[in-house]
């Protein structure tokens, strides 16, 4: 209910069923990234001022888990899908 899917930058074509958005008052939003210089400036500003986000990161391979938890309203902060596993990296720290 009242969820928002925000896309940052261009990730390719996206399609959505309007009824899926209407039911549950869901939103779809997007924004350009502003490029690397603007992103670096914004990150430095956040670092300088102790600004961060409360997020839960899941590897993209667990997208089904994320969607199931969203359906059950079992998400405390924001979900972030780590896409690094799509290029062969796991996103997990190396084993000791």
Per-residue pLDDT of the chain (96 residues; tens, 9 = 90+): 788 888 777 767 878 888 888 888 898 888 776 778 888 898 899 999 999 888 899 999 999 999 999 899 898 888 888 988 887 555 455 454
The pTM of the full predicted model, rounded to 2 decimals, is 0.41
CB 26 within 8 A of CB 20: yes
Return the structure tokens found at 37: 């210089």
- β-partners of residue 29 are 6
Instruction: Let me know whether 32 and 12 are in one domain.
Output: yes
Question: Structural domain tally of the chain?
Answer: 2
What does the pLDDT read at residue 57?
A: 92
Candidates 26, 30, 31; CA nearest to 70 is 26
The answer to whether residues 8 and 37 belong to one domain is yes
Whether residues 42 and 26 share a domain: the answer is yes
If asked whether residues 37 and 57 sit together in one domain, one would say no
59: containing domain: 53-96
Q: Residues near 31 by Cβ (< 8 Å), separated by ≥ 6?
A: 6, 7, 8
Does residue 4 sit in the same domain as residue 47? yes
């Amino acid at each position: 209910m009242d969820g928002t899917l925000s896309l940052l930058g261009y990730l390719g074509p996206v399609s959505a069923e309007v009824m899926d958005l209407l039911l549950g008052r869901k939103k779809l939003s997007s924004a350009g990234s502003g490029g690397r210089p603007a992103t670096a400036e914004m990150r430095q500003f956040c670092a300088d001022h102790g600004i961060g986000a409360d997020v839960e990161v899941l590897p993209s391979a667990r997208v089904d888990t994320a969607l199931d938890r969203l359906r059950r309203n079992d998400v405390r902060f924001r979900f972030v899908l780590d896409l690094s596993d799509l290029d062969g990296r796991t996103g997990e720290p190396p084993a000791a």
